[in-house]
Structures are given as structure tokens and as C-alpha cells.
Structure 1
């Protein structure tokens, strides 16, 4: 059992995992059941052997190592390079996005309780030296600071509400660059013109006046090993062969009404493609769809901080419900994060850390008060 499994075992004993329709929308709602509407959900699978599907054995190409973020081969030259976490505006006026399809992990979270719970993206990028244009960039919120810390990532943003973020940014693990990126003339208002462009990250690191300056390589706050519990390279996890009960999931409707955020399964690529505002999200650089091998959905309480709708998710918590979804199949899980710099871990109903497929990952925190509006089919 991996580190952290014993921590969650107690919570797992108390947690009864069930699929129900919630009776109300209260942040203090009982977390002992999943409040979710599942369309056409039928139990599949009949075994519980926790092992990946057998497949062809692959050798890791020379000069590469298996990424701690995706589990896939990348250059050994950047093995110790820390990632960046880029705040990306998700308002319709900010579209089309540039470079988001190249991110290793994408978070989507409610940015404000106003404007029909508009969302913002946070893109985790390991190989930031290859960025040509990423964004547009916008401000950060406290939750993003807490989540970026578990990656030992430098947060890239353009400000934020000082009264809410400054205390978090004073922590030694909260390293960030703000408002120090390129401006691109695109005919839009100024707030939609800032991007991480080629050379920006190198310039930010080299021109720092802090002592000591930020390191481009991992720091003392790094979590050793892989960020997720990946299947062996070259093999696939088939959830229907691992667990007694799983559920077919080909479309996920998230309760972010402004963006109409939706994930649709592409059976040919075996990935979930992201849609918003009624259209498939395609990168402005090359038309590549924003797609993911893995999807994590976390039920999470939040506290509204002021009348502007600014908020903080209670992302440091234990034994909360969620879903892991891959290859057209979903599995109820629980999640645990016990400190800002510690990893968020995902567990099955036996208290074992769930094994996931290698590839890119989408993570969303769904507010507890709208958890029953999350739909799958």
C-alpha cells in the first residue's frame, strides 16, 4: 500500500459509496453518498483484480524517462525541471486559446459564484521551454495557489484580489510570476492580450531580483516519484476488469453554466474531448482538440469570500467523493489532500490508490452545492 493509503483507510471505512440523486443543494450536505444523476448507467465488469490490462511491452526510447506528470516518455534533459501552472482566461471573449492542448494537466474550476459560475483553467506544463504561445493569462485565486504547490510549480498569472491571495503568496512554496509576460495584439481589450510566449519563462527566471532567485529545477517541496499511480508504460487500465462495478461514461455535463463545460468521449482516440459554449475546444495554434486520457471529478466544499463572488475551495480535505473516468468507463472514488504541498491522492472503495492510464489528465472541482447537477451518460 502506497504512502497515504493508511491515512485514507479510516475514512473509507466510514464512507458508503452509492449513486443517488441529492435531495438538496447545501455546502454542508452529507458526503456519505454520491449526489449525481447518471443517465443510462449500467454496472459492468465482474472481477476485482487490481491490475492493468495485459498488452504489448514497450521499451522507453533512449534519452527519455517516464514523465512524473503523464507517465509517458519525455526528454531526460528536463527530468529535474519543475513545471509551471498557467492561469488561462476561460471567458468566451478570451477564445480561441493558444497552447492549451499542449498542457500535461488541465484544471477547470469555478472562478466566481457570479456570472453563472464562470470557470478558469489552470494548465500544468512540464516542458515550458517549447511554449510558443499559451493563454491568454488572467488572475489567480487562492485555490490555484494551493493546487500549484503540490506540483512544485511556478504559478503564472496576472494579479488577483490582493486581500484574498497575498497571504498565500507569502508562503515559501508559493512561487509565482505575475504580469511579466508578452502582450499580443489581437484586436481585443487589454485584459485578453497577455500570453506566455517563447522565451518568456527563461526571461522571468533569469531577471529575478529575489535572493535567492527561483530555481528552474525542483525544490525541497517536490513530491518524489510520479504524481499519479500510473499503469506500467505500454499497458492500459481497463476498469471493467479491475472493479466489480463501473459505469459507461461517454458524455459528462459539468455544472458550470456560463461555459457549458462538457467532456465527450471519442471512441477512436479513446480520449475525452472538451467542449464549451456549445463547441469543441480547438487550439488556435494547430486546431488540435483539447483532449484527455484521464478525467478526475472531485466533489468539494467552498467558502465565498466576498460580495464579488470570489471564493476558495476546501481542497485540503479527506475522504471526499469523486470520479475517475477513462476509456469510456467511470469509477466512483474518494480523494485526500492533507497539506498544500502534498499530493491529492485518489482511492478506490478498498482504500487502495487507484491506478490510472498514462497520458494527459483533466481535473475539475465541482462545488458540493451543485454536485447533483453533474450529469453523465
Structure 2
């Protein structure tokens, strides 16, 4: 079953009813963003109202609640247990080149959250990855590292993450000048891989420790969370050991065993593997395997955000309107998709996701992939 657009009247009328702390409001401008045309699919509906209360399911064989081992805590990036020693350590957000010449990637499979964004309106709207890593002290090799764009600066700030990149256009300057911004640029290792220089910069072991040491106490680049960090969870995770099942919690959901994104240059797709329960990422017609260990880049959660953008000049530089409210999104997990909305209220504000009842979306624990899909190609998303 293919999905390439919303049923305009049905979805818009429901989404207009969503209210989120007075931030999400349905307006004429938001209605104009709703993809139009006849729907090429039908929502899977459940009439039994009892399914509305079936929100989570135990994934373990035991009925006993999960007991967090001593010295561990639940990661704010994945909701999974990790060492308490790095609980207050801020993550890094690494800009990874996604041009075919930059492949294979190193270390991307160790990222906790991966964003994919259009990096330029030229070259078939080539994308770039931004990899968030909490335990950056364990990085052996990550990259290759390339330049950043203003949107990535704001997205990294949601996590109080230090953005790791190699230069970028002058449009970045006004964002880097803000007190909430922290970044390392062009300060990583060069690896002789036989490629052109722009494809040879990587974060390797010791690079970040050296960078933080150079900046500590002088530019406010603490290794730990600072006053600009958001309190509480970034994602609304279900309790570890439980599992949200979208086809039981909601009366409207969609089959999504595979999603093809309108990123024309590299042809990003995510395919659900029922054996692992994860969505596996592919591009350039091949499944993505990490050059370090051959691990497939895979995610428990997939989030697709409908987002406008503004082209800044003839060079193809752009900025997404990532501060917005009531915009459409998809959440995918376990082969099922759910239509939701998203809200981001400021440069450092966390992007939140809400269902049609105005309740914050619960997502499963594990790694997450987030794509900002340009609004002018939103209808070209294809589900199978």
C-alpha cells in the first residue's frame, strides 16, 4: 500500500482541533500547508473503543518491573540504561558529509539520534547527516566532518550539544554569536584515505577531549550541561521495558514497512526489519553499513517533519523554518505510522510532537532518526 499524500479534509479537520498549551493553533496559513488532492490510501480504523486504552505492552517475559542497575541511568537521548558517570555530560552533534564520495561513513551507527536535512537546494538537494552522540568519549572515528548550516545550530541547541563541523557560510555567524551556542570547527584529525582534502576530516579518539580542554573556562564550552540546557526529557519515552503499539493505542494508523523520502540526490529509504524491530537506513541504492564494524544504521523510531525553508542566495544556502507550531509530521515504529504535529517555540526550545488529542506523543526507547522534509516535497513521501 502506497501513501503519497494526506486526505486533506479528514486530517485537517482533526488537526485543527489540537490544542497544545495554547501554542498549537489551526490557522488559515497552516491549512494552506496541508497536502491537497485525493488520498491514495485509506486509514486503518478500529471501531472498538477499548483499543484506546491499550497504550503499552511489556516486551519482557517477566511481569516484574525493570530494575535499573546501580550506577546506571536512563539516557535522555535513547531512554535506555547507560553509565551514570556521563549523566551530566552534554552530547556532541557532528556534521557528517553525505555525498557519495564521502562514503563509507565511520561511527554513524554509534550515534543516538541522527538528523537528515537538505544541505543545499543545488545538486538535487543533497542532504547532510547530523549525528548526536552522548558518550563521545568512546568515539574511535566519526565522519567525515563537513560544514554546517544555521538550522543545525538551532537543532543542536535543543540538546545543549556542542556542534562539531568544518566551517560554513557567514549566515551561521549570527547564531554562533549567541550565548547558547557552542561549536568546534575544523579542529579534528585528518585521515589519509586517498580522497580529496574535503573528505579527510574525522573526529578520532582524543580530539574532543583536546577541544574541550582548549575551550574550558574561556568560551563557556563546558563538558557538562549548562544553564541553556532544557530540563526534563527531550523525548516522551515509554518506560523502559514497555512498548507503545500505535495500532493498539490509536484508532487511525497506517502500514509503513518501508518509507522512501524525497531526498533526490541520495534516495534515502528506511525499511522495517521485523526480526530486529528496527528501521534500516539505505541510500544510493544500498543499505548503510558502518565502515568501522559493518553495523547497519538502524533506528527504533523514525520521525518525519514537514518543514518550510527559505533559500538564502543563489549558492543554494538555506534555512529551515524549524521554529513553528501545528506543522504536520509522521512517527514510525514497528512497521506502523502515525500522523502527528510538531512544535518548536525558540532556538533552544525542544521540538515536541503531539497526537490529535493534544497529548504529547509517546515514543519507544531506542535510537531515533529525524528528517526535516521540505514542505514543497512533503506529498512525495512514499510508504509501503
Q: Same fold per TM (> 0.5)?
A: yes
Q: Which moved more, 1:41-50 or 1:266-275?
A: 41-50
Cross-structure match for 1:309: 316
How many angstroms apart in 2 are the aligned matches of 1:187 and 1:301?
Answer: 38
Secondary structure, counterpart of 1:53 in structure 2: strand
How much is the aligned-residue C-alpha RMSD, in angstroms?
Answer: 2.0
Q: Tell me what 1:24 maps to.
A: none
Q: Deviations over 1:170-202 (max 9, x none)?
A: 001110000000000100000000001001000
What's the CA shift string for 1:227-269, capped at 9, x where partnerless?
1000011000001111011011011110011001111111100
Check the 8 A contact 2:300/2:366 in 1, yes or no.
Answer: yes
Q: How does 1:3-152 map to 2 (within 5 A)?
A: 5-8=20-23, 10-11=24-25, 14=26, 30-31=31-32, 33-34=34-35, 42-45=43-46, 46=48, 47-49=51-53, 51-56=55-60, 57-152=65-160
Q: Indicate conservation of the 8 Å contact 2:165/2:186, yes or no.
A: yes
Distance of aligned partners of 1:172 and 1:305 in 2 relative to their CA distance in 1, 3 Å threshold: same
What CA deviation, in whole Å up to 9, does each residue of 1:126-174 have, x standing for no partner? 0000000000000000000011000000000000012x11111100111
Partner of 1:21: none
State how many pairs are aligned.
359
Unaligned stretches of 5+ residues in structure 1: 17-27
Q: Give how far 1:207 is off.
A: 1.6
Is contact 1:15–1:32 with CA below 8 Å preserved after alignment? no
Q: How does 1:1-377 map to 2 (within 5 A)?
A: 5-8=20-23, 10-11=24-25, 14=26, 30-31=31-32, 33-34=34-35, 42-45=43-46, 46=48, 47-49=51-53, 51-56=55-60, 57-162=65-170, 164-208=171-215, 211-377=218-384
Following superposition, the deviation at residue 29 of structure 1 comes to 8.1
1:226 to partner: Cα distance: 1.4
Q: Distance in 1 between matches of 2:173 and 2:310?
A: 17
Inter-partner Cα distance in structure 2 for 1:148 and 1:38: 35
Q: List per-residue Cα deviations over 1:3-29 (Å, max 9, x = no partner).
A: x94134x52xx379xxxxxxxxxxx88
In 1, Cα distance between the equivalents of 2:53 and 2:350? Answer: 25
Retained in 1: the 8 A contact 2:58–2:241? no
Q: Distance in 1 between matches of 2:358 and 2:40?
A: 27
Cα 1:31–1:86 change in 2 (3 A) is: farther
- Relative to structure 1, the CA distance from residue 54 to residue 305 in structure 2 (aligned partners, 3 Å threshold; closer, same or farther) is same
* C-alpha distance in structure 2 between counterparts of 1:212 and 1:310, whole Å: 28
CA contact (8 A) 1:35 1:371 kept: no
Contact 1:37/1:374 (<8 A) preserved: no
Q: Deviations over 1:257-295 (max 9, x none)?
A: 100111111110011000000000000000000000001
SS across alignment from 1:287 = coil
User: Secondary structure, in 3 states, of the residue corresponding to 1:168?
Assistant: helix
Q: 1:111 touches 1:119 (CA, 8 Å); kept in 2?
A: yes
